[in-house]
Amino acid sequence: MITLLPSVLSADFANLGNELDTLKKSGVTEVHIDVMDGMFVPSISFGMPVIASMRKVSDLTFDVHMMVEEPGRYIDDMVKVGADAIGVHAEACKHLDRTIMQIKDAGKKAYVVLNPATPLSVLDYVLDKIDYVLLMTVNPGFGGQSYIPQMTEKIRDLRRKIDARGLDVEIQVDGGIKLNNVETVIDAGASRIVAGSSVFGDHTEEQIAAFLKIFAEKN
């Protein structure tokens, strides 16, 4: 099953409730929420109050990607405001295993995020504890970047690693994913597709329909 996760970082913030409604009406079931602290990445996005406001008007699954130093400090808060899945960067956690277990103990799905230059070996001792791995296919912090071609082989390598261990772990990708390259990442082994600027805009419904048509052909 291939899933589209529109990234609300590219949505119209002045019209966020309607944007979420459009996603649901278009067949989207999950939304990707980037939380940035201005430390782990240069940008600052939004935090708990905005997510809580979104939760009041939407029953979509909230996939919260924490681009935050020591994200374990905020896991409980993210759970309270409505996160359904929480992703943390291996590079940002002093004790990655502990942070994963904090998320799982709260009854939420947990995933680990890797920056483009981070080797897959950091997952060796936690891969059996998580639901997804998110491979960044751009360097995190800004929307609208171009896909890094070398990440296709990284996706393939991770798929082989997961399959060799017989694990039920999905691969999520985020960064520069568009209609003209989404089949490449799916064929490499990704099944959870984050897309921002290629979804939101003047033709959001049409863009979603185009992605979902490709997914239906690949499923």
Among all residues, which ones are annotated catalytic?
Answer: 34, 174
Residue 183 bridge partners (DSSP): none
Residue 6 near residue 31, CB atoms below 8 Å: yes
Annotated binding-site residue numbers for substrate: 7, 65, 141-144, 174-176, 196-197
| Amino acid identity for residue 83 in this structure | A
Taking the C-alpha atoms of residue 5 and residue 202, their distance in angstroms, rounded to an integer, is 18
Q: How many angstroms separate the first and last alpha carbons of the chain?
A: 6
Q: Residues 6 or more apart from 77 whose CB is under 8 A from it?
A: 48
List the binding residues for a divalent metal cation. Answer: 32, 34, 65, 174
Q: Using CA of residue 144, residue 207, residue 200, residue 54, what is the dihedral sign?
A: negative
Q: What is the dihedral of CA 195, 198, 202, 33, to 10 degrees?
A: 20
Coil vs helix vs strand at 113: strand
CB 160 within 8 A of CB 136: no
Number of Cβ within 10 Å of residue 62's Cβ equals: 22
Annotated binding-site ranges: 7, 32, 34, 65, 141-144, 174-176, 196-197
Enumerate the β-bridge partners of residue 174: 136, 194
